[in-house]
Amino acid sequence: MKNDGNPLVRYAVSINGIVQGVGFRPYIYNRAVEFGVKGFVKNAGSGVVIDAEAPRQALKSFIKEMVQAPPPLSQIEKISIRRQEVQNFNDFKILESQESDQILSFIPKDTAVCEKCLKDISDESSRWFGYAFTNCTDCGPRYSILKKLPYDRCNTSMDSFVMCEACSAEYNEPSSRRFHAQPVCCPECGPQLQLLNNLKQELRGTAVIKKAVQLLKAGCILAVKGIGGFHLMCDAQNAQAIEALRSRKRRPDKPLAVMAKDMAAVEKLCEVDDAEAKLLQSPASPIVLMNRKHDCPLPKQIAPDSSKLGIMLPYTPLHHLLFKEGMNWLVATSGNKSGLPIEYQNDEALKHLSDTADYFLLHNRDINIPIDDSVFKVFRGQKQVSRAARGYSPLSFNMGAVHQLVALGAEQKASVCLSKGGYAYMSQYMGDIKNPKAYQTYKKVIDNLIMLTKTSPCAYVHDLHPDYLSTRYAMEQSMRKIGVQHHFAHMSACMAENRLSGMAIGVIYDGTGIGIDGKVWGGEFLVGNLEGFERAGQLSYMKLQGGDKAVEQPWRTAVSYMSQAGIKDWGIFKNINEYALETVQEALEAGLNCHETSSMGRLFDCVSAMLGLSHSISYDAQAAIMLENIADYGINGSYDYDIYYTGKCLQIDFRRLLEGILRDIRKGRKAGEIAGLFHNTAASFTAEAVEAISRQYGIRNVVLSGGCFENSLLLGLILDRLECKDFQVYFHKLVPCNDGGVSFGQLAAADSMLRR
């Protein structure tokens, strides 16, 4: 024990970051054994504590190894080391933690199957050979099966499966990769697959996976239960199957995600750069939006409006097994009817998807919390989240928040955000909560996050829109309420994620959100910090006739806007009958069902409709996506517009822009060129307005937020113009720029307001 030449040294090491529920303790145990270190490791607070005793050199190597090559899912944020008096430990132990010790700052996330487990399922001699639920400490379901903390098997939906002897031995063996892997199981003791037709009759006889693949190859649509819910899957090369899926799901145009067998199969479809490849293969395994190759072998119907494809790799053992039978690409879209949330329970899925799917590939491991696939894209080498969900949510962010709050988000693309112990926890995307089922999930996610983080909120933070269900939820609470204006929440989200605390100019381009004057905002230049803002500029108000109908049918927006620009050339709307055109004009003149709006989203709709791209839409932002898609990227020049002041508020009047577009349409100029010039114009008036506001307020920091910045062309053009004028420009990477990020911004703003 006493090493004469090498006296013992003892350190107390405490580590914070993502170190719980990611196999950190068994990893430390194994390194300790390897380096001859004695002492113990245990979970404590929001991190891990190690008491380590060994000769100095061994201890140094042990710590160096831990910092340089930690387990794959871990992330060390802070490490502190204190020298202690030598204890003469006899061995190295993993000590059990008390429940009171566990204040998780990181809720474990669902993780794609790891390389080692993949080897197990393809190794005929392994007891996991061909097993669809193989997992270990480095991979598998987590958040979606978690009912409460601590993260132990009895608190997950694996509690109904009793471990067999072999699994139990692995679970208790510190040197095993499955030591304390809560969902560990095997074909003897774990969940099983089941294949049913849509009359709930079980298909027996042939091995389930082989049979499922035969059905897919024959053009059938399968509902396949995954980690966070069901996918609807079909052969991505079979145009007929895709058409059938679209019509049954009532989703005529919205892009469908594709699951590709491996990287080689992805590269046949899209141009893939290094950052995109890395993202595709990351443990979160999200859908990545990438540029489709000209010779992409998949039918156009996968994404008819877009030059981009959303692709993911297989992320569960089941997915990998499906691809072992010779297919390269599967459509893998959320298992729901259009507008409804993703199905995640067997009974409900069988009920609601029986006229959409021909067959159901089910299993008996329950999903506790539904969670869609995450969606990312890469912009100038950096990843940007568009839909925060499986593998990414709940997002823990060290915001330094002082108060315990619950922020309730917007309504479409709902999410919620909690704060506790300085951290903000943003939930997954939950779709449009106007739908009762989505609203049910929304309430469950709030309760679940409050329980997991042990938050006792002192206030609920909500949007100013009185009719949003999220606002109504706040009003039902007996606690203090704080309202945060929608676009200020967008701005705050961008400031908080970029850790910007001083004054900034927020350029917020969005669809709709209620303003402090009760009008519909969405093309805003806000000046402020997290504590508050003033409106320094805006797209000039335009009257919009038709309410929600105008959002669904962009030609109505075009008629409203063109009328007010005095350019009544209805000849460009070839597919709209005269009666409908006249009705809108008359209602507009009479002021019937009209409201004023400064929305940038509506301006995109208007131009898209003028170019004949989208007279009516079937999914959110379709008109803008089509306009971005056809735009000629290289074109120079822009249309005219006017900038002037009303009081202190700068106004961008785009009526001359519409005149210019109409002139070009009449001349027969290519739609792609006009769309390109329109994007240039939007960038020009943005830069000019920012410069004017900057002169007025003496501020050089600019944040870009709001749903319109999903448009990479617009983001890039604005970024270039502002950066070449030496502005410090910040945009979103970690938090969505769309309404999915509103809860995060509400929380940051409310915490600052309360501090003041």
Interface residues with Zn ion (CB under 5 A) are 114, 117, 136, 138-139, 164, 167, 186, 188-189, 510, 513, 739
- Least distance between Zn ion and beta carbon 492 (Å): 12
Q: Answer whether 374's CB lies under 8 Å from 315's CB.
A: no
- Closer residue to Zn ion, CB minimum distance, 175 or 240: 175
- Closer residue to Zn ion, CB minimum distance, 235 or 510: 510
Question: Is-cis flag, bond preceding 150, omega within 30?
Answer: yes
- Least distance between Zn ion and beta carbon 334 (Å): 22
- Closer residue to Zn ion, CB minimum distance, 167 or 600: 167
- Closer residue to Zn ion, CB minimum distance, 190 or 457: 190
Cα dist from 655 to 166, 542, 755, whole Å: 73, 10, 43
Residue 578, judged by CB atoms within 10 A of its CB (0-12, 13-18, 19+), counts as exposed
Structure tokens of 69? Answer: 């090559």
Per-position b or e across 177-188, b if 16+ CB within 10 A of its CB:
bbbbbbbbbbbe
Q: Is the dihedral of CA 464, 489, 727, 699 positive or negative?
A: positive
- Least distance between Zn ion and beta carbon 732 (Å): 12
CA gap 407, 172 in Å, rounded: 41
CA gap 95, 188 in Å, rounded: 30
Q: Which residues neighbour 578 within 8 Å (Cβ) at sequence distance 6 or greater?
A: 570
- CA dihedral of residues 431, 357, 267, 73 (deg, nearest 10): 50
- Least distance between Zn ion and beta carbon 710 (Å): 11
The vertex-624 CA angle with 428 and 485, nearest 5°, equals 55
- Least distance between Zn ion and beta carbon 311 (Å): 23
Could you tell me where the beta strands, DSSP code E, fall in 62-101?
75-84, 92-94
- Closer residue to Zn ion, CB minimum distance, 27 or 359: 27
- Least distance between Zn ion and beta carbon 718 (Å): 17
- Least distance between Zn ion and beta carbon 188 (Å): 4
Q: Bridge-partner residues for 362, per DSSP? A: 194
CA gap 395, 107 in Å, rounded: 8
- Least distance between Zn ion and beta carbon 486 (Å): 6
- Least distance between Zn ion and beta carbon 256 (Å): 25
CA gap 415, 741 in Å, rounded: 7
- Least distance between Zn ion and beta carbon 69 (Å): 17
- Cα 387 to its chain centre, rounded Å, is 2
- Cα 402 to its chain centre, rounded Å, is 26
- Least distance between Zn ion and beta carbon 72 (Å): 10
CA gap 450, 425 in Å, rounded: 10
CA gap 360, 347 in Å, rounded: 11
- Least distance between Zn ion and beta carbon 563 (Å): 26
- Closer residue to Zn ion, CB minimum distance, 164 or 275: 164
- Closer residue to Zn ion, CB minimum distance, 513 or 515: 513
Please count the residues of the chain: 756
- Closer residue to Zn ion, CB minimum distance, 188 or 447: 188
User: What's 389's DSSP letter?
Assistant: -
| The residue to which tokens 């109908």 are assigned | 549
Q: Bridge-partner residues for 597, per DSSP? A: 520, 542
- Closer residue to Zn ion, CB minimum distance, 229 or 513: 513
- Closer residue to Zn ion, CB minimum distance, 404 or 743: 743
Q: Answer whether 500's CB lies under 8 Å from 528's CB.
A: no
Strand-strand pairing, 287-291 and 375-379: parallel
- Closer residue to Zn ion, CB minimum distance, 167 or 331: 167
- Closer residue to Zn ion, CB minimum distance, 164 or 296: 164
